[in-house]
Chain A
C-alpha cells in the first residue's frame, strides 16, 4: 500500500490598511530572505500596497474565503470602515495588526481635536495654503464630466474592534517582524492558537521585564525632565532619572527597541492583559512617585508633565475610556 503525501493547501492571506503609514506593511517586507518561505506558504489574495486586486475582487469572494487577514491602520473614514466589514465577512481569522488597528495608534492623536479643527488647520490655516474660496474636500463633488466621490471623514479615529469583531491583536508600531513570523508560522502549521480576542505576538509582562537598564525601588520623583534636559547615562531606568517612560505599562515583545535606542518607551505595544486603560494606569503610577505631600510643591512638579494626554495616551487614545476630546 502506498501513502502519498498530501500537499498542504496554501493559506489565503489578505493584508489591508486603514488610516496607516505603511510601516506595518514594511514590517511584513522586513521578513527579508524569509519572504520566499512566506510566499511558499501563503497566497496573498489582497494587498493594495503590493498586489493589484480591487475591492470588487473581495466583494466577489464567498464568505470566509480568506484564511487570515492582517488589518493594519485605524478607522478614520467610511472607506476604512467598509473594507474592514467586508474583510471581516470574508475572513476566517481577522487580526488587528499594529498599534493603529489595535488601539488607534498615532492617527488617534487626532481625537484630541475635532474634525472641524483638523480641516480648518489643514485646508485653511496652514501658512503655505492659499485657499481664498474656503474650499474643502467634499464626499460627493460634481464636475463637468460627472461626479467624484471621496470617503466620509469621521469625527474620531477608531480602533478596528470598534467597527468589527477582531479575533486577535498583534500589537506594535510596527509589530516586530520576528513576532509576526512566529504567529504566521503557528497559523501555517495549524498549531493551536490562543483564545479569541487575545493579544498574540507579544508578552504578558511589560517592557521593564526585558529592559536592561538598572532599576531600583527608588521610584521617587522631585522633578520631571524632558529627554534633552538630562545627561542620560544610558544605564539607569528613565523614570528614576525623572523622564516619563511608558515601559512599565507596555507589553514586551518589541525587544525594548526604543529604550535600546536611548529613547523612553511611548507604549506602542499596548497594555498587559486586564489593564482597561494603560494611560490611566501609568498616570496613577507616575503621580504616585511624586516625592511631595505639599499641595503647592505637587502642582509645581506636575507643571513639568507638559502633555499628559499626548504622553500617556500616545498610541491608545481611541481605545481608552475617554476616547476623544469632549
Chain B
C-alpha cells in the first residue's frame, strides 16, 4: 500500500498532517487528517481567577484571539452574575466586528484568492498573494494591507493590545471611547463597507465570471452534505457576538435552536487515538462515523453554515448579497465547500455595516463602562458563546464562591469542523487522485483547497498565508518502506 504524507500541512495556524493511503491499485483507500498538538488550556486554567481567563485564553490562538477574549469575557460575566452595561456591550461588539473585518480580509485575499484569482493549478510560484497582486494590481494589494491594518488599529484602540486583547473585565470593559476616536472609526467603517463591496465585485468578476471556477465550486469534488450550525439573533438573522445557536439539517429544516448554556445537551465530542484534536458531533443524532448525509451527526460551523442556519442578514446590503448568493447557487442550504469563500465575503460586508451602525450609536461614547459586581451574588458557573470566524466558539467555566476556576470546558470553532475537514479531504482525494497515476502538484493543491476553504485554524485548532506548496509524496509499500519519493518544486 502506498502512503502519501503531507507534513506539515502548511499555510495553517497550528500543526496539521494529512496521510493518504492508496491501495496497490492506487485507489484512495483512506485519508487521515491529524492534529499533532495539544496544549490543554482546559486543565491549566484551573486555579486561576476567572477574570484572568479572558487574557489567558486569547493565547489559545493569536489569529483569532478576539473570539476567545469575547467568549471568555461573556462566560466570566455569567460566573459573576452581571450583565455588562449597554455601552460596554456595544464597545465589545464594535471591537468584534473589526476583528471579523481584519480576519476575513486576510483570509480572502491572502489565503483563498490565490486559488481563484491566480488559478488552482497555476504555477505555484505565482499562486500566492504576490501573484494575486500581479493580477489585480499593486494598489489593490496595498489597499488590502491598509484595510487590514485599520481593522487591527481599531482592535488595538479598544482592546489595548492589538493581538492579545485586554478589553474585557467582568461586567464590562476597561476603556471607553472618546468622541474624536469615534469619529475616526466612523470614517474607517465607511471605508470597510466600500472595500467589502469591492471585494464582492472582484469575486463576482474573477470567480463567478469564470465558468471553470464556477464549475469547480458547484460540481467539483468539494461538496459535503452535512448539517449547518450558526448563531442567530431573535429574528434568526446571522449574529456573531450574541444570540442562540441554531442547527439546520442537510435539507434546510431546523434541527434545533438552543441558548448557548444548554450546549451540552446538543453537542458531544469524540476522541480518536490518531489525533490530539477531538471530534464534536450532534449528540441527539450520535456519532455515526466519518460519513455525511441527513443521518450523520457530523455538522459544520463555518461562514457557509452560518448563512445556511440563518434566515438572512441583519444589515441591508449584506441581505442583498445573501439573497444573490443563494439564488446563484440554487437555493438553501448550500453544500458546496468552496462557496464558503463567497459566504465569507457576505459576512465581511455585514461586519462592515454593523461596524458603522455601532460606531454611530449615541451610546458608544457612554461613560458607564462597567456593572458593579456583588461578591454575594457570584453564580459560580458560566457559558460564553460567540461565532468565531472559524465556527461557533464556546467557553464554559465552573468556579468556587470567590470566582476561582475549578473546571473549564472549551469547544473551539475549528474543532467543530474537524470531522468535516477529514471528510472533505478524503472526498477531494478520492475525486482527484486517478487510479495508478502519481498525483500532480496541482492535484495535491486542489486536495489542500478542500481544507483551506474551512479557513481552519489549528492553533485554536489553521489558516493560510501566501507561498507556493512544494510537496513530498512518499510512496510506501505494505511494510511501510519508502519505494519512491516524488518531490514537487
A and B interact: yes
- A interface residue numbers (CB < 8 A to B): 17, 19-27, 29-30, 32-33, 35, 39, 44, 47-57, 76-77, 79, 105-107, 109-110, 112-113, 117-119, 121-123, 125-131, 135-138, 141, 143-148, 150-151, 153, 173-174, 226-229, 232, 257-258, 260-263, 266, 306-307, 309-311, 314
Q: In whole Å, how far is B438's beta carbon from the nearest beta carbon of chain A?
A: 17
Q: Can you list, as one digit per residue, whether each of B49-87 has a CB less than 8 Å from chain A (1) or not (0)?
A: 101100110111111010000000000000010000000
Specify which of B45, B152, B165, B271 lies most central, judged by the most chain A CB atoms within 10 Å of its CB: B271
Q: Are B11 and A49 in contact (CB under 8 A)?
A: yes
A56-B472, A128-B263, A148-B32 known; 8 other A-B pairs, CB under 8 Å?
A: A22-B61, A50-B465, A50-B466, A54-B6, A228-B51, A257-B166, A261-B166, A263-B160
Q: With A and B bound together, what is the CA distance between A144 and B32 in angstroms?
A: 12
Q: Is B89 an interface residue (CB 8 A)?
A: no
Q: Are B8 and A76 in contact (CB under 8 A)?
A: no
Q: Which residues of A contact B274 (CB under 8 A)?
A: 137-138, 141, 143, 148, 150
Please tell me which one of the listed residues B163, B459, B476 contacts residue A20 in the complex, with CB atoms under 8 A apart: B459
Q: Could you pull out 19 A-B pairs where Cβ atoms are within 8 angstroms?
A: A22-B459, A23-B61, A23-B163, A29-B106, A47-B465, A52-B467, A52-B470, A54-B472, A57-B470, A77-B37, A128-B267, A130-B287, A135-B272, A137-B38, A137-B275, A153-B276, A173-B59, A257-B161, A307-B49
Q: Are A310 and B271 in contact (CB under 8 A)?
A: no
Q: Are B465 and A23 in contact (CB under 8 A)?
A: no
Whether A49 touches B269, Cβ cut-off 8 Å, given contacts A226-B49, A228-B171, A263-B166, is: no
Q: Which residues of A contact B270 (CB under 8 A)?
A: 129-131
Interface size class of B (residues with CB under 8 A): 35 or more
Q: Are B10 and A53 in contact (CB under 8 A)?
A: yes
Whether A49 touches B12, Cβ cut-off 8 Å, given contacts A26-B62, A143-B274, is: yes
Q: Which residues of B contact A119 (CB under 8 A)?
A: 40
Q: Are B160 and A258 in contact (CB under 8 A)?
A: yes
Q: Which residues of A contact B167 (CB under 8 A)?
A: 261
Q: Which residue of A lies closest to B160 (CB)?
A: A261
Q: Are B62 and A228 in contact (CB under 8 A)?
A: no
Q: Which residues of B contact A229 (CB under 8 A)?
A: 373
Q: Can you list, as one digit per residue, whether each of B350-383 has a CB less than 8 Å from chain A (1) or not (0)?
A: 0000000000000000000010010000000000
Q: Which residue of B lies closest to A108 (CB)?
A: B44
Q: Are B62 and A110 in contact (CB under 8 A)?
A: no
**CB-based closest 9 A-B pairs:** A261-B160, A23-B62, A50-B465, A52-B469, A51-B467, A263-B166, A262-B174, A106-B59, A145-B21
Q: In whole Å, how far is A78's beta carbon from the nearest beta carbon of chain B?
A: 10
**Which segment of B140-148, B196-204, B205-213, B310-318 sits at the interface?**
B140-148
Q: Are A21 and B59 in contact (CB under 8 A)?
A: yes
Q: Which residues of A contact B429 (CB under 8 A)?
A: none
Q: Which residues of B contact A266 (CB under 8 A)?
A: 55
Q: With A and B bound together, what is the CA distance between A79 and B16 in angstroms?
A: 12
Whether A307 touches B11, Cβ cut-off 8 Å, given contacts A77-B36, A226-B49, A261-B167, is: no
Q: Which residues of B contact A22 (CB under 8 A)?
A: 13-14, 61-63, 457, 459, 463
Q: Are A33 and B273 in contact (CB under 8 A)?
A: no
Q: With A and B bound together, what is the CA distance between A137 and B29 in angstroms?
A: 22
Q: Are B51 and A23 in contact (CB under 8 A)?
A: no
Q: Which of B18-41 contact A (CB under 8 A)?
A: 19, 21, 29-30, 32, 34, 36-40
Please tell me which one of the listed residues B39, B370, B478 contacts residue A110 in the complex, with CB atoms under 8 A apart: B39
Please tell me which one of the listed residues B174, B467, B469 contacts residue A263 in the complex, with CB atoms under 8 A apart: B174
Q: Which residue of B lies closest to A310 (CB)?
A: B48
Q: In whole Å, how far is B100's beta carbon from the nearest beta carbon of chain A?
A: 15
Q: Is B471 an interface residue (CB 8 A)?
A: yes
Q: Are B11 and A127 in contact (CB under 8 A)?
A: no
Q: Which residues of B contact A135 (CB under 8 A)?
A: 271-273
Q: Are A126 and B164 in contact (CB under 8 A)?
A: no
Please tell me which one of the listed residues A27, A54, A107, A125 contacts residue B163 in the complex, with CB atoms under 8 A apart: A27
Q: With A and B bound together, what is the CA distance between A266 and B48 in angstroms?
A: 13
Q: Which residues of B contact A125 (CB under 8 A)?
A: 407
Q: With A and B bound together, what is the CA distance between A42 and B58 in angstroms?
A: 30
Q: Which residue of A lies closest to B466 (CB)?
A: A50
Q: Is B159 an interface residue (CB 8 A)?
A: yes
Q: Which residues of B contact A23 (CB under 8 A)?
A: 58-59, 61-63, 65, 163-164
Q: In whole Å, how far is B391's beta carbon from the nearest beta carbon of chain A?
A: 15
Q: Which residues of B contact A148 (CB under 8 A)?
A: 19, 32, 34, 274
Q: Which residues of A contact B49 (CB under 8 A)?
A: 226, 306-307
Q: Which residues of B contact A261 (CB under 8 A)?
A: 159-161, 165-167, 174-175
Whether A310 touches B52, Cβ cut-off 8 Å, given contacts A30-B162, A258-B166, is: yes
Q: Which residues of A contact B467 (CB under 8 A)?
A: 44, 47, 50-52
Q: Is B255 an interface residue (CB 8 A)?
A: no
Q: Which residue of A lies closest to B470 (CB)?
A: A52
Q: Which residues of A contact B472 (CB under 8 A)?
A: 54, 56
Q: Is B257 an interface residue (CB 8 A)?
A: no
Q: Which residues of B contact A117 (CB under 8 A)?
A: 43
Q: Which residues of A contact B58 (CB under 8 A)?
A: 21, 23
Q: With A and B bound together, what is the CA distance between A129 and B272 in angstroms?
A: 12
Q: With A and B bound together, what is the CA distance between A77 and B44 in angstroms?
A: 17
Q: With A and B bound together, what is the CA distance between A173 and B162 in angstroms?
A: 11
Q: Is B483 an interface residue (CB 8 A)?
A: no
Q: Which residue of B lies closest to A33 (CB)?
A: B145
Specify which of B60, B164, B464 lies most central, judged by the most chain A CB atoms within 10 Å of its CB: B164
Q: With A and B bound together, what is the CA distance between A143 and B39 in angstroms?
A: 25
Q: In whole Å, how far is B133's beta carbon from the nearest beta carbon of chain A?
A: 10
Q: Are B465 and A51 in contact (CB under 8 A)?
A: yes
Q: In whole Å, how far is B430's beta carbon from the nearest beta carbon of chain A?
A: 14
Specify which of B3, B44, B47 lies most central, judged by the most chain A CB atoms within 10 Å of its CB: B44
Q: Which residues of B contact A141 (CB under 8 A)?
A: 273-274
Q: With A and B bound together, what is the CA distance between A39 and B270 in angstroms?
A: 43
Q: With A and B bound together, what is the CA distance between A229 and B40 in angstroms?
A: 29
Whether A79 touches B43, Cβ cut-off 8 Å, given contacts A51-B10, A54-B8, A146-B480, is: no
Please tell me which one of the listed residues B32, B162, B175 contacts residue A262 in the complex, with CB atoms under 8 A apart: B175
Q: With A and B bound together, what is the CA distance between A311 and B467 in angstroms?
A: 40
Q: Which residues of B contact A49 (CB under 8 A)?
A: 10-13, 463, 465
Whether A262 touches B160, Cβ cut-off 8 Å, given contacts A21-B59, A47-B467, A106-B56, is: yes
Whether A20 touches B62, Cβ cut-off 8 Å, given contacts A53-B10, A77-B37, is: yes
Q: Which residues of B contact A314 (CB under 8 A)?
A: 56
Q: Which residue of A lies closest to B268 (CB)?
A: A130
Q: In whole Å, how far is B37's beta carbon from the nearest beta carbon of chain A?
A: 7
Q: Are B7 and A55 in contact (CB under 8 A)?
A: yes
Q: Is B411 an interface residue (CB 8 A)?
A: yes
Please tell me which one of the listed residues B39, B61, B130, B159 contacts residue A107 in the complex, with CB atoms under 8 A apart: B39
Please tell me which one of the listed residues A27, A79, A307 contacts residue B15 in the complex, with CB atoms under 8 A apart: A79
Q: Which residue of A lies closest to B127 (CB)?
A: A52
Q: Which residue of A lies closest to B170 (CB)?
A: A228
Q: Is B278 an interface residue (CB 8 A)?
A: yes
Q: In whole Å, how far is B175's beta carbon from the nearest beta carbon of chain A?
A: 5
Please tell me which one of the listed residues B62, B263, B278, B478 contacts residue A21 in the complex, with CB atoms under 8 A apart: B62
Q: Are B271 and A105 in contact (CB under 8 A)?
A: no
Q: Are A121 and B42 in contact (CB under 8 A)?
A: yes
